[in-house]
């Protein structure tokens, strides 16, 4: 075979192939980059050189293509194809203009509640949701929730996934510290959603639409923890996270001012170690009587808190039906650290609803109980309890007197409070809308423990609830069909495996084999 002839036959086609690839690369690169950048130029150059080479090597064929029968039919086919593609594109465009969706699921799982659709209709500015999800977490659920909003919003709600590890600058800009956070951005305002659900996004949207300053005040003057201290004993992490959630956070010296700030949505007493004066106590009482919201975090006296501020305790018990005990919780669920009480959410409440599956660690806590007999206008609820392996020790001397054998602490029936020991109580006066949250520990939210389990979340949600921000949108709960797997006996699972893997494919294989064999025999 003549080698020259061989390469003369394939070289033009290689050149034409290169031209097509070059043109495709250039078009694709331009489509993605939207700029006349290097990849586009290189692609175009390759396409031109390839085309020129083909024309040079096959002039006769090109002439035939351009003038002959092929050209005529080819151009007809091209015009017809373009018209057909145009019609299809128009149909698809029309379908995108008038979206129609039918939700076939039994519980209308893919349909937003009417209240949320109302919020979306009321949106007057476009909202972009940045879902900060690293490659480590599954995006399916987030996509499902965000899609519902994007589809129901008629273009006003869009979302993007951002990998916070690959794009730390954007994460930092919106103060994102947890993987899986969604940030809703509207104009120059933004709201963080830490636990994704329809309701959480709707509430964040409602807050974005009604921007108003929300103020959290940390009272100082009685040895309370400091929100600026970065070390383990400070509350700076809590302060940062509240700031990220658009709260204005500041301190306020009760002894110096002699009052509580009027613009505060929530006032926090984070572990006072000194008792309050009569006047200060009166200020707190008046503040609550006028519908204020207060979060009390009480440490135990074995940690140095002056004990007892009996008057404040009496006020909380008499007026709010919240009993703050002079006890120390001993929790044997972790034998190495019996003074760390492990709190488990035990009630359905806005403060604990996001803690599903998470515990809260309270290092050295006292018990806080809800008392019976509260009037109908006052709802008092215990939210977190220890397990029944803990108790509240009333003999505090045992913790401070050191004996050669070490502290002798044991459960004394009749004297100590048996587990499960209540640790957090909330009370809501529906007449004045005053709200209090009382926690039998102040250390769980300090920097040292803030990021453990649900510790930070508990306080963040407590602040939201106390500020009346927990449910701007109340949604009538949809009835959900509860499903469960029927129990199977031991051999049931094996039978299941056998039928699903072997039976059906096996039957197909056998029939296939028989058909093949019969055809072979016939030949």
Partner 1 sequence: MRTVWIIARREFRRYFTSPVGYLVLFLYLFILGLIVNNSLQQAYAFSVFQGAPPPGADIVIGPMLTLLVFSIPALTMRLLAEEQASGTLELLLTAPVRDWELVVGKWLGAFLFVVVLLALTLIYPLALHLLTEPGLDWGPVISGYLGLLLVSAALLALGVAVSALFRSQVAAFVVTLALFLFLWMISSLASAGSPSEGVLRYLDFGHHFYTSFFRGVIDLQGVVYYLSVTAFGLFVGTVIIESRRWRG
DSSP H or E segment with residue 95: helix 69-97
Instruction: Name the residue among 394, 399, 401 with its Cα closest to residue 367.
Output: 394
CB-wise, 126 or 512, nearer to partner 1?
512
Q: Pick the stretch among 88-96, 193-201, 227-235, 300-308 that binds partner 1 (CB under 8 A).
A: 88-96
Span from 62-70, 242-250, 264-272, 319-327 in contact with partner 1 (CB under 8 A): 62-70
Q: How far apart are CA 111 and CA 394, in angstroms?
A: 53
Considering only residues 79, 80, 165, 289, which one is a binding residue for partner 1 as defined by CB under 8 A?
Answer: 80
Determine how many CB atoms are found less than 10 A away from the CB of residue 462.
27
Q: Tokens for 144?
A: 């499902």
Residue 99 makes contact with partner 1 by CB under 8 A: yes
Residue 516: helix, strand or coil by DSSP? helix
Query: Which of 1, 4, 69, 414 is in the footprint of partner 1 by CB under 8 A?
Result: 69
Is 410 a residue that touches partner 1 (CB under 8 A)?
no
DSSP secondary structure letters along 227-287: SS--STT--HHHHHHHHHTTEEEEEEEHHHHSS--TT-SEEEEE---SPPPHHHHHHHHHH
Q: How many CB atoms lie within 10 A of CB 74?
A: 13
Distance CA 331, CA 417 (A): 12
Q: What contacts 24+ positions apart, CB below 8 Å, involve 142-146?
A: 142/180, 142/182, 142/196, 144/110, 145/196, 145/197, 145/198, 145/201, 146/182, 146/201
> CB 506 → partner 1: shortest distance, Å?
9
Q: Which stretch binds partner 1 (CB under 8 A): 48-56, 94-102, 173-181, 236-244?
A: 94-102
Q: Which of 2, 98, 210, 490 binds partner 1 (CB under 8 A)?
A: 98
Nearer to partner 1, 109 or 478 (CB): 109
Size of the site for partner 1 (CB under 8 A): 62
Which of residues 8 and 109 has its CB atom nearest to partner 1 in the complex? 109
Span 427-486, contacts to partner 1 by CB under 8 A: 481, 483-486
342 SS3 class:
strand
Span near partner 1 by CB under 8 A; candidates 14-22, 36-44, 447-455, 514-522: 514-522
Please, which residue, 107 or 125, has the CB nearer to partner 1?
107
* Tokens 């096996």 sit on residue: 506
Rounded to whole angstroms, the Cα distance separating 461 from 457 reads 6
406 to 114, 393, 399, 401: CA distances (angstroms): 62, 16, 9, 9
Q: How far is the CB of 9 from partner 1 (least distance, A)?
A: 15
CA dihedral 340, 345, 346, 347 (to 10 degrees): 140
The interface region with partner 1, picked from 10-18, 107-115, 217-225, 300-308 by CB under 8 A, is 107-115
Q: Which of residues 483-502 bind partner 1 (CB under 8 A)?
A: 483-486, 488, 493, 496-497, 499-502
Residue 137 binding partner 1, by CB under 8 A: no
CB of 32 to partner 1, least distance (A): 5
**Residue number, 33 or 306, with CB nearest to partner 1:** 33
Residue whose CB is less far from partner 1, 474 or 516 = 516
Name which of 149 and 391 has its Cβ closer to partner 1: 149
Give 430's contacts (C-beta < 8 A, 6+ positions apart). 377, 378, 379
* Interacting residues toward partner 1 by CB under 8 A: 28, 31-34, 64, 68-70, 73-74, 77, 80-81, 84-85, 88, 91-92, 94-96, 98-107, 109-110, 143-144, 147, 160-161, 481, 483-486, 488, 493, 496-497, 499-502, 504-505, 508-509, 511-513, 515-516, 519
């Amino acid at each position: 075979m003549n080698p020259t002839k061989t390469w003369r036959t394939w070289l033009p086609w290689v050149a034409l192939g290169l031209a097509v690839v070059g043109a495709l690369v250039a078009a694709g690169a331009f489509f993605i980059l939207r700029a006349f950048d290097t990849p586009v130029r290189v692609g175009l150059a390759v396409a031109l050189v390839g085309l020129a080479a083909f024309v040079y090597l096959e002039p006769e064929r090109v002439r035939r293509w351009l003038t002959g029968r092929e050209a005529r039919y080819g151009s007809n086919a091209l015009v017809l194809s373009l018209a057909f593609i145009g019609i299809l594109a128009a149909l698809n465009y029309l379908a995108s203009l008038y979206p129609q969706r039918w939700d076939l699921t039994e519980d209308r799982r893919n349909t937003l509640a009417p209240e949320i659709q109302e919020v979306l209709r009321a949106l007057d500015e476009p909202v972009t949701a940045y879902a900060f999800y690293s490659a480590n977490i599954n995006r399916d659920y987030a996509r499902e929730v965000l899609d519902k909003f994007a589809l129901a919003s008629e273009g006003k709600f869009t979302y993007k996934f951002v990998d916070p590890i690959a794009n730390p600058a954007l994460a930092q800009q919106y103060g994102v510290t947890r993987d899986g956070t969604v940030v809703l951005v509207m104009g120059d305002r933004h709201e963080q959603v830490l636990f994704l659900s329809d309701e959480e996004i709707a509430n964040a949207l409602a807050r974005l639409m009604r921007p108003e300053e929300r103020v959290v005040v940390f009272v100082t003057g009685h040895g309370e923890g400091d929100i600026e201290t970065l070390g383990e004993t400070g509350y700076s992490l809590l302060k940062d996270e509240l700031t990220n959630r658009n709260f204005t956070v500041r301190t306020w010296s009760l002894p110096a001012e002699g009052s509580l700030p009027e613009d505060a949505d929530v006032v926090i007493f984070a572990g006072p170690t000194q008792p309050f004066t009569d006047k200060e106590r009166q200020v707190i009482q008046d503040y609550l009587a006028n519908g204020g919201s207060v979060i009390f975090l009480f440490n135990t006296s074995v940690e140095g808190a002056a004990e007892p501020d009996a008057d404040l305790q009496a006020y909380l018990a008499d007026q709010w039906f919240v009993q703050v005990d002079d006890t120390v919780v001993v929790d044997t669920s972790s034998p190495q650290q019996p003074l760390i009480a492990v709190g488990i959410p035990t009630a359905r409440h806005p403060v604990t609803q996001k803690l599903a599956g998470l515990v809260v660690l309270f290092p050295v806590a006292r018990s806080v109980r809800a008392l019976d007999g509260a009037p109908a206008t006052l709802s008092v609820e215990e939210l977190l309890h220890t397990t029944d392996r803990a108790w509240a020790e009333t003999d505090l001397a045992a913790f401070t007197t050191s004996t050669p054998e070490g502290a002798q602490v044991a459960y004394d029936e009749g004297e100590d409070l048996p587990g499960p020991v209540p640790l957090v109580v909330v009370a809501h006066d529906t007449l004045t809308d005053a709200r209090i949250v009382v926690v039998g520990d102040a250390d769980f939210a300090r920097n040292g423990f803030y990021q453990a389990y649900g510790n930070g979340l508990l306080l963040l949600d407590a602040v939201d609830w106390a500020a009346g921000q927990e449910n701007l949108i109340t949604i009538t709960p949809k009835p959900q069909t509860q499903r469960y797997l029927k129990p199977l006996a031991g051999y049931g699972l094996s039978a299941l495996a056998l039928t699903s893997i072997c039976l059906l494919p096996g039957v197909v294989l056998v029939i296939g084999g028989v058909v093949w064999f019969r055809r072979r025999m016939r030949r």
